[in-house]
Amino acid sequence: MKKWLACLKDQRGTAFPLVIAVTLACLLILCGIMEFFRLSLIASGVKEALQDAVVVVVNDNYANVYHGVREGYSGGYYTEGYGFEEAVDTGDIYYHLDETLGTRREGGNRGKYTGGVLEYKITGLDVEIRNAPLAPSDPANAQRFEADAVVWLEVPVRFAGKTFPSMKMKLKVQAGYIEVF
């Protein structure tokens, strides 16, 4: 027992275990911060790619919308006989996401793989196009031509060599047509 007390009172080398513990704690904190930044970068990259794809859809509807602007309306309409018919196209947003992000189709989902490991999955694409009204009574406050897109992003969370429940988030973007003249 006296030898144990003597070892505890001896001050040589007592900082060594503390240095190891602090180093390991800092390493774990740094790994957590790096995983957080990985998740943030993936989410912002997918959101920007989705925004680009929605802008492409709005631009693809340009011809119909511009035709309406020439006639005094800013919506996607074309003349049919003695009236106007709505003309909008939701486009192929998944195609643009596949081209931009390098995802591939898996059933109804899109997945991105790196070295055979799932990096993230995109599901539940919902596109809503709101056409501007035909001959609005108050053109200054009328609904403009807009496209909204919503997807669900699922990213597996990995920390300290283990896989935790995935981060799931809903990403929503919007793009619209604005007349500049």
Encode the chain (181 residues) as per-residue pLDDT tens digits: 777 677 667 777 667 788 899 999 999 999 889 999 999 999 999 999 999 988 888 777 766 665 544 555 556 666 677 776 776 766 788 888 888 898 988 887 899 998 888 899 999 988 888 877 766 666 666 667 788 899 999 999 988 778 889 999 999 998 877 666 5
Angle, CA 58 vertex, CA 54 and CA 63 arms, to 5°: 155
Give the C-alpha distances (Å, rounded to integers) separating 94 from 49, 65, 74, 147, 151: 10, 23, 27, 15, 10
Give the rounded percent of residues in the chain with a pLDDT score beyond 70: 75
Q: Record the tokens describing residue 43, joined without a space.
A: 């989410």
Measure the CA–CA gap between 65 and 18, rounded to whole angstroms. 69
Predicted local confidence at residue 154, as pLDDT: 94
Instruction: Answer for the pair 160, 31: CB distance below 8 angstroms, yes or no.
Output: yes
Calpha distance 114→104 (Å, rounded): 12
pLDDT for the residue 117: 87
